[in-house]
Structure 1
Amino acid sequence: MTELQFVRPVKRCPLPDDAVPVVSLRGLTKRFGKVLANDSITLDVYPGRIKALLGENGAGKSTMMSMLAGRYKPDEGHIEIDGKPVRFNSSKDAIEAGIGMVYQHFMLVDSMTVAENVLLGQEGHFFVSPKEMESRVGRLAERYGLGIDPGARISELSMGERQLVEILKLLYRESRILIFDEPTAVLTPEETRNLFEALWRMTEQGKSIIFISHKLEEVIALADDVAILRRGRIEGELETESIESKADLASRMVGKEVLLEVDRRPVEIGDKVLEIRNLTGLGLTEVDLEVRKGEIVALVGVAGNGQKALVEAVTGLTKPPLDTVFIMGQPWRKFFAESTWNRSMCYIPEDRLGLATLRNQNLVDNLLLTTREGFARGPWLDKKKAAKHTVRLIEKFDIRPGRIHALAWQLSGGNLQKAVLARELYREPKFMVAEQPTQGLDVSATEEVWKRLLETRSMAGVLLVTGDLNEALQLADRIAVIYRGRILGVLPTSDKDTARKIGPLMAGIVD
């Protein structure tokens, strides 16, 4: 199986001995009740360099960056800018100090132009003409090599272009330190490469970048230095040139060996468990797709190109047109009218703390969400039996903290996802829809989820909806690429050229 590669075009330079940090965190500590989120964090960020921040889910990365961005106040310690202590009472204070953060979910006004979004909220620009706005933003974009039309409306832009607008907003504010939180989650491979080139150009002009990602191949390609956060503490820092391999970096991050490989042994292919025939409507056009028992078919594409509509049509959240969706050999309406709680279809939603679980209910009640018919005695639920099975699932799937009365919101993302998988696999499904199953998970939790999905092939077919192309290449037998509601191609992962073909298809380019 081939992984997508990112190669840095410019040779890294070692940090000069006389380098002075632009930002320093000194003994930052943050508690939430009895939980120690950050414990005496000390970290330096230097101008003209990219520092990657790595850590497992719950390691404290977001809390640390939230203090730097002015959203949280530290309980102990302080932040220094250019060697001088500062105190941020709000995000506005951090922005005025030159710190800006690009979040995973963009905050843009779709009906406005690029230039209008960049200048929105900026003091002294209320009476600036649209032509002058576009001229200013165009010059700024050209300076940093950001290829975007300042007069284009946000609604017309791809996800990668929208991200460039968020970056331009920070550059217009003259931010010197830019924080990126999982910035490639919604990008095509080509957009990811373009982003990396833009970040390198920013460092050439003296900007400092903090890059948070779970994608180790990106960290190795992009960053100059890596800081590893574990259980709220900085466990070590290293220059990227010293990293021997992705597995080496992963083991340093989680404190144990992580293989980052999957044993995708061939499984006997069985009957069709999903067949979509010429599905048109719901934002989809002439979609044909099938999944058989024993295989994983990955659906990939930039967010917003019809994946959600297709998933909802298959899983029963939206009614598809007649005679377009067939599940386990039955028409969609007949299947859902006669469906049983087990040995049928299961669904792993993207929203694991909303749609997949009840955040304020414990693990027993969350197990019963989709399995209650298996624990029913007439009108009564046998909750003692459900509790016993929950204990077994916690042990089998290593769900921490290991207490059946733990509430869903109290679990880390990785442990909550394992709980959802445990519940759905308990149902012994014949067909599974897994939507973004490892999004936001660290390498250790990702490895566990991959293992479970591959095991599922022995009893079911799997439709895997993912924005992680390496995940698709590692797990899937075939990859379907969706663009603006159409399946532009279904590629076998056994073909060594598949990785090269995916990116153009995601951008709507067909040979």
Structure 2
Amino acid sequence: MTELKFARPTPVRPLPEEATPVVSLKGLTKRFGTVVANDAITLDIYPGRIKALLGENGAGKSTMMSMLAGRYKPDEGHIEVNGQPVRFTSSKDAIAAGIGMVYQHFMLVDSMTVAQNVLLGQEGGFFINPKEMEKRVGELATRYSLDIDPGAYISDLSMGERQLVEILKLLYRESRILIFDEPTAVLTPDETARLFDALWNMTEQGKSIIFISHKLEEVIALADEIAILRRGRIEGELDPTTIESKADLASRMVGKEVLLEVDRQPAEIGELVLEVKSLTGLGLVDIDLEVRKGEVVALVGVAGNGQKNLVEAVTGLIKPPLDTVFIMGQPWRKFFDESTWNRSMCYIPEDRLGLATLPNQNLVDNLLLTTRKGFAKGWLLDKKRAARDTVDLIEKFDIRPGRIHALAWQLSGGNLQKAVLARELYREPKFIVAEQPTQGLDVSATEEVWTRLLEARGLAGVLLVTGDLNEALQLADRIAVIYRGQILGVLDTADPETIGKIGPLMAGLVE
């Protein structure tokens, strides 16, 4: 696949010798019980520059930034702003010091509009009438080319659109130090390019950007400086101009060679596991789609074009029109009436913390969410066996910090995603719906997930819903492109012309 190119307005500039950091982290250490998430972190942030922060899942990136943003208090060390030590007791203190952060897990009120969420907590925000609120937020969105309706309710938005709201909240505060934690994870290539233009514009105004991402091509294109975090410690800093390739950067990050691709061998195609026939309604128009055992079918499109609706109709979250969805040869209603806990259908949701897991429950209880019947003996639940199996899954999938009693919310986004994947593949499904399965995962973990999904084809068919076109091309046998609730084309990835057709179809351009 041809990689997305970003038109950087100016070359990477060397740091002036006389430059003074706007923020300095001095020996920051943070522990969670016996786990040391950050170990004596020392890092400088300079005005007018973009510092990318790279590290594997569980390396401590989000914990470190959460201390800078006032969400966590360091156990040791301190933070300096403009050379003066500061002590943040809450995110309000950090905001007052000019530091703002967009988190991986969105902090939005579903029952409020986009504009209300952006102004929530701002001084005098709710003394402004709704039209004026929407005007202000609309102007802000237009200024940064972020396509979002300020009057829309959060509950009606896709995950990609919710990400844009979080970014707007940060822009509205006019913070001097802006922290972006995986901001492009659910954005299309065009949206990513527009975001990068906005970030470069902000640095021209003297703002400091901290950019956390697992997308190495973005880091190389965007950053002025790259800091590597490994096992809670800063391993070093790199000049982007010295990096030879994505593979070179990946190996420096994880300390070993990373291939950044998988060997997808043809699998034996079997019976239908999903058949969608002329599905109209629920925001969808005349959808026809088939998935067979032994194949991966990817559904791609700009966020908000009906992917969510189709996934919910297939997975049982909403009821589709009669005789439009058939799973493993059975009509939708009959399938869900008779479905078993294993060797059936599994769902890996995009919303890993809200829908896929219980945030305040440990990994054993989260394993039991969808496998409970497999550990039941009459009225009794064999939690000892569930705990043993959880230990095995933690080791097999390298889920950190590696404790079965860790709560879901305590895991990094990537490790939580691996826990969900481990649980669902444990069920030996015959049909897998995988929605953004590698979102927020580092390169080595992404390769592992890709490999496991391809291995699962021996027993299952896979419907892969992804915003990552490279992922779709690496894994899928066929790619279905959805636009405004319609599938405009189903393309064979073996066809060399497929790559050139995907972009126009995502934009609604049909030959």
> What residue is the counterpart of 2:144 in the other structure?
146
Question: Cα gap change, 1:289/1:150 in structure 2, threshold over 3 Å: closer, same or farther?
Answer: closer
Which one is further off, 133-142 or 389-398? 133-142
Which one is further off, 74-83 or 158-167? 158-167
Q: Distance in 2 between matches of 1:510 and 1:84?
A: 58
Contact in 1 for aligned 2:35/2:401 (Cα 8 Å) = no
> What residue is the counterpart of 1:35 in the other structure?
35
Alignment of 1:235-250 (within 5 A): 235-250=235-250
> What residue is the counterpart of 2:475 in the other structure?
475
Secondary structure in 1 matching 2:491: strand
1:88 maps to a residue whose letter is: F
Q: Distance in 2 between matches of 1:330 and 1:46?
A: 60
Q: Distance in 1 between matches of 2:16 and 2:254?
A: 29
Q: How far has the Cα of 1:44 moved from its partner?
A: 0.9
Question: Cα gap change, 1:397/1:131 in structure 2, threshold over 3 Å: closer, same or farther?
Answer: closer
Contact in 1 for aligned 2:362/2:405 (Cα 8 Å) = yes
Deviations 1:399-424 (A, max 9, x none): 56667677666665555544544444
> What residue is the counterpart of 1:58 in the other structure?
58
Q: Distance in 1 between matches of 2:333 and 2:227?
A: 52
Question: Cα gap change, 1:384/1:112 in structure 2, threshold over 3 Å: closer, same or farther?
Answer: closer
Secondary structure in 2 matching 1:286: strand
Q: How far has the Cα of 1:190 moved from its partner?
A: 0.7
Contact in 2 for aligned 1:24/1:79 (Cα 8 Å) = yes
Q: Distance in 2 between matches of 1:151 and 1:341?
A: 40
Q: How far has the Cα of 1:365 moved from its partner?
A: 5.9
Deviations 1:371-411 (A, max 9, x none): 55556666666677766766665555455666767766666
Secondary structure in 2 matching 1:209: strand
1:178 maps to a residue whose letter is: L
Deviations 1:296-315 (A, max 9, x none): 11122344433333222222
Mapped pair 1:213 → 2:213:
yes
Question: Cα gap change, 1:371/1:44 in structure 2, threshold over 3 Å: closer, same or farther?
Answer: closer
Mapped pair 1:269 → 2:269:
yes
Contact in 1 for aligned 2:148/2:161 (Cα 8 Å) = no
> What residue is the counterpart of 2:487 in the other structure?
487
Q: Distance in 2 between matches of 1:481 and 1:289?
A: 11
Q: How far has the Cα of 1:7 moved from its partner?
A: 5.0
Question: Cα gap change, 1:462/1:238 in structure 2, threshold over 3 Å: closer, same or farther?
Answer: same
2:89 maps to a residue whose letter is: N
Contact in 1 for aligned 2:57/2:442 (Cα 8 Å) = yes
Mapped pair 1:230 → 2:230:
yes
Secondary structure in 1 matching 2:200: helix
Contact in 2 for aligned 1:154/1:162 (Cα 8 Å) = no
1:231 maps to a residue whose letter is: R
1:295 maps to a residue whose letter is: E
Question: Cα gap change, 1:148/1:181 in structure 2, threshold over 3 Å: closer, same or farther?
Answer: closer
Identical positions, percent: 81
Which one is further off, 491-500 or 323-332? 491-500
Q: Distance in 2 between matches of 1:481 and 1:265?
A: 23
Secondary structure in 2 matching 1:26: strand
> What residue is the counterpart of 2:82 in the other structure?
82
Which one is further off, 65-74 or 384-393? 384-393
Which one is further off, 3-12 or 273-282? 3-12
Secondary structure in 2 matching 1:250: helix
> What residue is the counterpart of 2:97 in the other structure?
97
Contact in 1 for aligned 2:163/2:186 (Cα 8 Å) = no
Contact in 1 for aligned 2:51/2:227 (Cα 8 Å) = yes
Contact in 2 for aligned 1:190/1:503 (Cα 8 Å) = no
Unmatched 5+ stretches in structure 2: none
- The number of equivalent residue pairs is 508
Q: Distance in 2 between matches of 1:418 and 1:280?
A: 34
Deviations 1:221-273 (A, max 9, x none): 11111111122211111111111221222222222222211111122322322
Alignment of 1:367-382 (within 5 A): 369-371=369-371
Question: Cα gap change, 1:109/1:422 in structure 2, threshold over 3 Å: closer, same or farther?
Answer: closer
Q: How far has the Cα of 1:495 moved from its partner?
A: 3.9
Q: Distance in 2 between matches of 1:97 and 1:430?
A: 53
> What residue is the counterpart of 1:287 in the other structure?
287
Alignment of 1:18-417 (within 5 A): 18-104=18-104, 105=106, 107=108, 122-123=122-123, 146-147=144-145, 153-154=151-152, 167=167, 170-353=170-353, 355-357=355-357, 369-371=369-371, 396-398=396-398, 413-417=413-417
Question: What is the TM-score normalised by the length of structure 2?
Answer: 0.85
Q: Distance in 1 between matches of 2:368 and 2:137?
A: 54
Secondary structure in 1 matching 2:237: strand
Q: Distance in 2 between matches of 1:141 and 1:408?
A: 33
Question: Cα gap change, 1:32/1:160 in structure 2, threshold over 3 Å: closer, same or farther?
Answer: closer
Q: How far has the Cα of 1:454 moved from its partner?
A: 0.8
Q: Distance in 1 between matches of 2:391 and 2:158?
A: 45
Contact in 2 for aligned 1:275/1:289 (Cα 8 Å) = yes
Q: Distance in 2 between matches of 1:165 and 1:341?
A: 37
1:264 maps to a residue whose letter is: R
Q: Distance in 2 between matches of 1:477 and 1:363?
A: 33
Q: How far has the Cα of 1:33 moved from its partner?
A: 3.0
Secondary structure in 1 matching 2:52: strand
1:437 maps to a residue whose letter is: P
Secondary structure in 1 matching 2:26: strand
Contact in 2 for aligned 1:305/1:483 (Cα 8 Å) = yes
Contact in 1 for aligned 2:225/2:240 (Cα 8 Å) = yes
Question: Cα gap change, 1:27/1:263 in structure 2, threshold over 3 Å: closer, same or farther?
Answer: same
Q: Distance in 2 between matches of 1:248 and 1:426?
A: 34
Which one is further off, 348-357 or 47-56? 348-357
Deviations 1:331-359 (A, max 9, x none): 22233344344433222233445554556
Deviations 1:36-93 (A, max 9, x none): 2221111111111111111222222122112212222222222222222222233222
Deviations 1:199-242 (A, max 9, x none): 11111222111111111111111111111112221111111111
Q: How far has the Cα of 1:274 moved from its partner?
A: 0.8
Question: Cα gap change, 1:225/1:322 in structure 2, threshold over 3 Å: closer, same or farther?
Answer: same
Question: What is the TM-score normalised by the length of structure 1?
Answer: 0.85
Question: Cα gap change, 1:188/1:417 in structure 2, threshold over 3 Å: closer, same or farther?
Answer: closer
Unmatched 5+ stretches in structure 1: none
Deviations 1:396-455 (A, max 9, x none): 545566676776666655555445444443443322111222222222222111110011
Secondary structure in 2 matching 1:79: strand
